[in-house]
Structure 1
């Protein structure tokens, strides 16, 4: 038997660690799942308990301003009570209004259809924006080519004897300087 074959055989018999789920020794996996369940349980308990969020005024006020702070505190308490009362009344009205109507839930087909339509609208917008950018780019290129051609024609003009027309070149340079300022 070769060395490699011996090594393979020995490696099968001597596993280290807790084992795996495939081997039927998923201790680590089971522990992990247990911790997950406990964590989710704690989260559910926290959701059920609603923490009171009342404003507490336990500050030490300066003596000469104490009456002002206390009056403001009473006003805020009255307002919060009114807001809670109004909120409960609106909740009751909403619940009464919702019961006879009963909104129908959308089927998975309707949801996917709406999602498809949204994606199509986004795609169409992107396509239009790309076409608009392309048109602007082409227009800018055409304008640049026209200006370049006009400049070339002006600078290439010759006199009757075949010499370059320096007057036109000087006019072009003057025009260019005036445009910059």
Structure 2
């Protein structure tokens, strides 16, 4: 066989391998950035849902005592200040603990009152927040797993790095939303 032909075959094979490697690396980079953006969107949706609770709970605060109102206001302020999943989870648990007596007191209100409607809306919002929590944690788990595999591990930084899970310390405070009894 002609040595020049062998040289061209080797050069061609190396070029094909280089193109495959470049395509694989570009694909991994794009995949990590896309997944990172998806997790960021999920986090923003979860944070927005958690912070929407203030407007929904406003009618409950109107009938609350001054110490209860101050405690709930402080819990809302802590939730707004919290930035990461760990901080938000701790603030969320504290908010749930401070809202629980108000929600229970609203159970004695007649159906159709603003407090009863706020209680119903709060339960729906808690369900929505729990679904968004699961969605965010699923995305974070997927991103973290992908960031440990090669070649995507090379691009974990471009996706914002590893994500923490949103785990509420007081799972009993949020695992079961307030019950509505008619």
In the superposition, the TM-score normalised over structure 1's length comes to 0.32
Question: Which has the greater radius of gyration?
Answer: 1
Which structure ranks higher in relative contact order (CA pairs < 8 Å, sequence separation ≥ 6)? Answer: 2
